[in-house]
Amino acid sequence: MGMSMHRDHRERFLALLARENAAAIVPTGALKIRNHDSEYRFRPRSDFWYLSGFREPDAVLVLVPNHAEATSVLFLNERDREKETWTGRRLGVEAAPSALGVARAYPLAELDERLEELLPGHERIVYGFGEDQQLDRRMLELVGALQQKSRALRPTPRQWVEPALGLHELRLRKDAAELECLRQAARVSAEAHRALMRAARPGVNEGELDALLDYTFRRRGGSGSAYGNIVAGGANACILHYRENDRALVAGELCLVDAGCEWEFYASDVTRTLPIGGRFSPEQRALYELVLRAEYAALARVRPGATQDDVHDTAVGVLVDGLLALGLLSGSRADALAQHTYRRFYMHRTGHWLGLDVHDVGLYVQAGKPRPFEPGMVTTVEPGLYVAEDDESVEPRWRGIGIRIEDDVLVTADGHEVLSADVPKEVDELEALLGGRERVGLQR
């Protein structure tokens, strides 16, 4: 793995660029200020990491397949003894080619002037607009100037191409080395969720469990959480992106935990919903078993040729049947499906691509139709039900229950593999894990 994975990605993308007579300019971005003069921890942009394996900020990878001497060129910060004393070690221009396998490396300050020499000979440029307005403007000006002085012998770029059209299609299909990262991310997530289940009991604050997740992710070698952990007790679970994580858990309520480890910047995305105190109430249990049935039915649909819509429709079908049976929806099944009355309780989609980004790149629709799954794609499957605290259309006993069950799923040649299968989700397992403490007499 390591460098060879990124080199493989670069070679694959260069071959694609060569066919299109295209160059690519791929920046990683700069440190971002958190407040005053403190910065957020840096995380390379996913396209850049995929192609380079380089962790430092302030770098740009340029791929120029039609260039005579060097097809991969990295621009990065120069070594600087004084700056490194303050802000950390730098790889530097000299060491970059052998460390990363790029053909050449230059100081970032030379980017514009070198691009004038590297870009001619290519008809289009792959560049993602919208991340960095300053760089966007510089690139437009630079290419505009190139076109002004173009010579007939060497084509100058005339077209900008979005990374979504080629690079993101490569990222959508995971290779063996990437799958190893995704498996490792899921493995550590499983350990973190299990640790949380052992620690979750009445009186514990959501924030303590949030910290336990982060601790386990990083202790086991992950780079941290792949997105903001959600630890949502009671009706907080009905807020889909609940972030406060600061309330003490109460016996008898559910706690929804949506958290995934990031491994070498590859994400996992796992949700479990736990009975605090160790016993589901009848209403909680009815809804939980319904969501679990929907998840199993949806998972069973994941195989080559099926689509995200198939998976979603399957989950919705099971949920609607169950909601009708429990009296939470009324009327006919056909009407509930046609009029989307279930959306009061299930308002999100059932899955999304997973990879370097938790909501990973890759088109969901091609030529107006949902694209079929192919081996090597990774998706989440995550049905849920959320009954708002103030939903007066249902009996009070159902209100404030929020449930989601989410796993990470690899599409294989003959079906699928659940990467997060080690995270318990059966009712009996959860009741044993969360209630076991009383039986062995442990006190907080």
CB-nearer residue toward Mn ion: 201 or 312: 312
From 352, 360, 408, 416, active-site residue: 352
Quote the CA–CA distance of 288 and 425 in Å, as a whole number: 10
Taking the complex as a whole, the smallest distance from the CB of residue 269 to Mn ion amounts, in Å, to 4
CB-nearer residue toward Mn ion: 391 or 417: 417
CB-nearer residue toward Mn ion: 24 or 378: 378
From 141, 359, 395, 397, active-site residue: 359
Taking the complex as a whole, the smallest distance from the CB of residue 307 to Mn ion amounts, in Å, to 18
3-state secondary structure 338-358: HCCHHHHCCCCCCCCECCCCC
Taking the complex as a whole, the smallest distance from the CB of residue 308 to Mn ion amounts, in Å, to 13
CB-nearer residue toward Mn ion: 210 or 269: 269
Does 269 engage in binding with Mn ion (CB under 5 A)? yes
CB-nearer residue toward Mn ion: 308 or 380: 380
CB-nearer residue toward Mn ion: 206 or 269: 269
Scanning 89-97, 154-162, 341-349, 378-386 for contacts with Mn ion by CB under 5 A, the matching segment is 378-386
The reply to whether 36 belongs to the active site is no
From 210, 258, 283, 310, active-site residue: 258
Q: DSSP letter string over 366-380?
A: ETTEEPBP-TT-EEE
Q: Which residues contact 86 (CB under 8 A, 6 or more apart)?
A: none
CA distances, 313 to each of 143, 193, 348 (Å): 46, 28, 12
Quote the CA–CA distance of 244 and 205 in Å, as a whole number: 11
Q: How long is the chain?
A: 444
Scanning 156-164, 227-235, 238-246, 374-382 for contacts with Mn ion by CB under 5 A, the matching segment is 374-382
Q: Which of 215, 216, 210 is nearest to 233 (CA)?
A: 210
C-alpha torsion sign, points 37, 41, 46, 48: positive
The reply to whether 386 belongs to the active site is yes
From 206, 269, 295, 407, active-site residue: 269
CB-nearer residue toward Mn ion: 91 or 409: 409
The reply to whether 112 belongs to the active site is no
Q: Are 363 and 281 in contact (CB under 8 A)?
A: no
Count how many Cα atoms sit within 13 Å of the Cα of residue 212 in the half-sphere of its side chain: 20
CA angle 15, 16, 18 (to 5 degrees): 65
The reply to whether 37 belongs to the active site is yes
Q: Where are the alpha helices (DSSP H) in 229-361?
A: 282-300, 308-326, 333-338
Instruction: Report CA dihedral (206, 211, 213, 214) to the nearest 10 degrees.
Output: 150
Taking the complex as a whole, the smallest distance from the CB of residue 310 to Mn ion amounts, in Å, to 18
Taking the complex as a whole, the smallest distance from the CB of residue 41 to Mn ion amounts, in Å, to 22
From 406, 407, 408, 416, active-site residue: 406
The residue nearest Mn ion at its CB is 269
Does 380 engage in binding with Mn ion (CB under 5 A)? yes
Per CB under 5 A, contacts with Mn ion among 332-371 are: none
The reply to whether 110 belongs to the active site is no
Q: Which of 131, 130, 144, 121 is nearest to 71 (CA)?
A: 121
The reply to whether 364 belongs to the active site is no
From 264, 382, 407, 408, active-site residue: 382
Quote the CA–CA distance of 298 and 161 in Å, as a whole number: 35
From 386, 407, 408, 416, active-site residue: 386
Using CB under 5 A, count the residues that bind Mn ion.
2
The reply to whether 404 belongs to the active site is yes
Q: Are strands 261-263 and 72-76 parallel, antiparallel or unpaired?
A: unpaired
> Which residues of the shown chain bind Mn ion in the complex (CB under 5 A)?
269, 380
Query: Annotated active-site positions, please?
Result: 37, 241, 258, 269, 348, 352, 359, 382, 386, 404, 406
